Structure 1
């Protein structure tokens, strides 16, 4: 990571003019534009959250064994989404927005076609990996007998359509790179509604349809994302987007892949580390008993619901930062990054602070068990005040993608992983009380947020 302060590049010679509404991302007041871009993303992410709730409800009706099975598959499904939408997707939006900011629309269009190839390859990688090694993964996580079979049945259907998931998130990132957040968000909301309807119908056997169980629930997502991928391809090829594509003018260029992968490939380490952090901490906490694990589950559920806020501000900053960098407006790019980080930290931090002061506002929605409630309260008391740092770090991670300087935030995520893994192991061997683990999680969030902020403050942005 380069720790030198950037030179004042804003005095660079004027670039070629870019067409409106793309130009507005370089000239409009930062906070109003950021909110305008963030709100559609927030709505779309809320739709994804509702899908998770609906699918959990469907699977719960199928029985306890399917519920245990989905817990085995969930980390890998989450990893697929995080890598394709947030990590590699951020690399795609970054490369396209930087090209548009520099006034090079032809390069942006060529980058978009290369991005589609990367999405196709990413999806195929997950399909082959999970179809070949999925059973082994689930066995390592403790899957046995019927639980293992149900997990494999769900996984085989879901990951057979991983190409559709990757294409949807990649093509949505292409469109976001032009500053258009509304169309990807509306499309993803439509896909969420379709997934809820089809997953319930096929999984539970509604309206006279044969009940397919877990594979049926997975088929709902496969069909919904396939439809969304087809729509995005049509939209981009029809000339209706801000960046129309032309396959006839396409040519392979190694530099185009590198422009995307130098951000996206490195950024993929962050969601991988996030999933590892969750798995390691869950495994450590399981030794403290079912009540502690259930209490943490209630707390982590709130974290999951807060991710749409951090994602919305962060992903909205990517095209604004990227276009500013491409246009040589480094000072504006930094102002965008810090504004998005402040908005995310303030919003998420206020929620965390309120819940830390009165955990019953959230915990009472899920349980009345005294032991589980006490564990959830302990988690919120220690981790809740740190949510602001988590929101700031995630937002700056996305902004760094827009600037093509993502190494520092990824190292900050590594620090968080090491703190939880090493610190948690030490506390477990020392037989420390469970509250110390919750304090460790909060401390790891603080380190992640502050480390990311320091890396952004000192990293050199611009060419």
Structure 2
């Protein structure tokens, strides 16, 4: 059956400015089906595995570069002294959390909704989501600024920051969170662009921004050409410049009609239902992201009981788990886009097939990394320390957890598929179960006065639970029919 016939036979309405997202739209005209944007047709017709690989590379590149930007900022700030590093240390995780929610959680809602709307051939409806991104970006940015500027001092004080370090934390935090609107707009507009299947544009914007940030950040921190630097706060200013120019680039791309979407220059009439639908997907996605970080924090706290060497060894080993996120999302993100477009077009079997192929690819990649790490742990741990105790603890972690990395890839792709089908319940419960296992396992280790490395068993079991618990939803094809 041709894609045009499929589009004419069955469509599903996406959330838009005029309809509730759960109501069915009338089928698009034959012209709408025939005149699909080439990128949308690509999502509906090209062989699935090569298509995922084609989209995965730029998607993973964006994730990796953004992680490197954060690490680069830490490096520049650390050159100004210990107080500066201690002051910005509690701010960076909060900024990263906002970016993660904006990009992967709320942004994930935009990606899948735009892709689904394009799958129906309704370009006008899909284009309206650029305006929804602007409205939500401004509202959520304002909310972020108000919360952090109001509670920042109390929050950092509670975290044990004091003296000059606290003054630096408040200065850096005040600047970066005062500019929360461009952070949200950057990530939400990028999500709208990604929803069209155009993943090369974000690569260009992010990498170009990184090239600007590379000289700008140290210039604003340390000074240059006779200009006296701002100290650590200069890094916050540089980051806001990066987000502001990136936001402008996405706006030019979207409202300049350089891609599949053709948003109007005048804001259309928007309704509450589509916003709530996106926030529902985004909110549940945020729970998954938060519990992933929470699990790592819980295990870190328990392992710290074993001393500095144990903490350092676990820290070195778990860094490899952090790298699984951009790799798994590199595959999972495109899988969600392809599923959404095909569900919108009524191509249910292709959407289900995409899920299974994506799972196989992500599991293979993450499991290969885990098995290699378990077989040669010193090759990874040795990058961080040559201390024999650290090497031993780190090797224990990779021996016990590495063989189960494939379940992380499984769970992450199921999470992305859940965003596409709007059935996030199983992934949320899987993430919560993983955190609960980490808490219960750590408590048992402490209560039984066992070696701290037994915490790693709980990590492995939790990883299996994260992957397996959401599988029944796919097997039942929940959200696909």
Is TM more than 0.5 here?
Answer: yes
Instruction: Select 1:80's aligned residue among 73, 95, 98.
Output: 98
Instruction: Select 2:354's aligned residue among 336, 346, 359.
Output: 336
Instruction: Select 1:254's aligned residue among 260, 272, 294.
Output: 272
Give TM-score scaled by structure 2 length: 0.89
Contact 1:161 1:222 in 2 (8 A): yes
Matched residues in 2 for 1:65 and 1:386: separation?
39
Would the alpha carbon gap of residues 67 and 261 (structure 1) be closer, same or farther in structure 2, given more than 3 Å must change? Answer: same
Equivalent runs, 1:32-43 vs 2, <5 Å: 32-43=50-61
Q: Secondary structure at the match of 1:390?
A: helix
Would the alpha carbon gap of residues 95 and 366 (structure 1) be closer, same or farther in structure 2, given more than 3 Å must change? Answer: same
Matched residues in 1 for 2:76 and 2:322: separation?
19
Q: Secondary structure at the match of 1:23?
A: helix
Instruction: Select 2:122's aligned residue among 80, 98, 104.
Output: 104
Would the alpha carbon gap of residues 428 and 135 (structure 1) be closer, same or farther in structure 2, given more than 3 Å must change? Answer: farther
Any gaps of 5 or more consecutive residues in structure 2? 1-5, 12-27
CA positional deviation for 1:227: 0.7
Does residue 163 of structure 2 align to residue 118 of structure 1? no
Q: Which residue number corresponds to residue 189 of structure 1?
A: 207
Q: Secondary structure at the match of 1:246?
A: coil
Matched residues in 2 for 1:156 and 1:456: separation?
44
Would the alpha carbon gap of residues 76 and 333 (structure 1) be closer, same or farther in structure 2, given more than 3 Å must change? Answer: same
CA positional deviation for 1:312: 1.0
Would the alpha carbon gap of residues 104 and 441 (structure 1) be closer, same or farther in structure 2, given more than 3 Å must change? Answer: same
Matched residues in 1 for 2:87 and 2:319: separation?
18
Q: Which residue number corresponds to residue 202 of structure 1?
A: 220
Contact 2:302 2:455 in 1 (8 A): no
Q: Which residue number corresponds to residue 384 of structure 1?
A: 402
Matched residues in 2 for 1:424 and 1:282: separation?
10
Q: Secondary structure at the match of 2:40?
A: coil
Equivalent runs, 1:350-361 vs 2, <5 Å: 350-361=368-379
Q: Secondary structure at the match of 1:21?
A: helix
Q: Secondary structure at the match of 1:119?
A: helix
CA positional deviation for 1:280: 2.6
Matched residues in 2 for 1:245 and 1:11: separation?
23
Would the alpha carbon gap of residues 249 and 45 (structure 1) be closer, same or farther in structure 2, given more than 3 Å must change? Answer: closer
Aligned residues: 454
Deviations 1:17-57 (A, max 9, x none): 13323112111100111111111111222212322332232
Instruction: Select 1:407's aligned residue among 425, 431, 441.
Output: 425
Q: Which residue number corresponds to residue 218 of structure 1?
A: 236
Equivalent runs, 1:168-317 vs 2, <5 Å: 168-206=186-224, 208-248=226-266, 250-317=268-335
Would the alpha carbon gap of residues 213 and 299 (structure 1) be closer, same or farther in structure 2, given more than 3 Å must change? Answer: farther
Matched residues in 1 for 2:151 and 2:40: separation?
44
Contact 1:328 1:462 in 2 (8 A): no
Instruction: Select 2:73's aligned residue among 55, 58, 70.
Output: 55
Give TM-score scaled by structure 1 length: 0.92
Deviations 1:74-102 (A, max 9, x none): 32122111101111111001111111111
Would the alpha carbon gap of residues 117 and 419 (structure 1) be closer, same or farther in structure 2, given more than 3 Å must change? Answer: same
CA positional deviation for 1:313: 0.7
CA positional deviation for 1:343: 1.2
Does residue 113 of structure 2 align to residue 95 of structure 1? yes
Q: Which residue number corresponds to residue 4 of structure 1?
A: none
Q: Secondary structure at the match of 1:22?
A: helix
RMSD (Å), alpha carbons:
2.0
Instruction: Select 1:137's aligned residue among 146, 155, 174.
Output: 155
CA positional deviation for 1:311: 1.3
Contact 2:124 2:263 in 1 (8 A): no
Instruction: Select 1:13's aligned residue among 4, 9, 16.
Output: 9
Q: Which residue number corresponds to residue 440 of structure 1?
A: 458
The range that moved more, 113-122 or 347-356, is 113-122
Matched residues in 2 for 1:24 and 1:331: separation?
16
CA positional deviation for 1:207: 5.1
Contact 2:352 2:480 in 1 (8 A): no
Contact 2:100 2:289 in 1 (8 A): yes
CA positional deviation for 1:192: 2.3
The range that moved more, 354-363 or 150-159, is 150-159
The range that moved more, 354-363 or 15-24, is 15-24
Would the alpha carbon gap of residues 455 and 148 (structure 1) be closer, same or farther in structure 2, given more than 3 Å must change? Answer: farther
Any gaps of 5 or more consecutive residues in structure 1? 1-9
Matched residues in 1 for 2:188 and 2:273: separation?
18
Matched residues in 1 for 2:70 and 2:7: separation?
48
Matched residues in 1 for 2:241 and 2:436: separation?
38
Does residue 363 of structure 2 align to residue 367 of structure 1? no
Would the alpha carbon gap of residues 421 and 210 (structure 1) be closer, same or farther in structure 2, given more than 3 Å must change? Answer: farther
Q: Which residue number corresponds to residue 325 of structure 1?
A: 343
Would the alpha carbon gap of residues 64 and 292 (structure 1) be closer, same or farther in structure 2, given more than 3 Å must change? Answer: farther
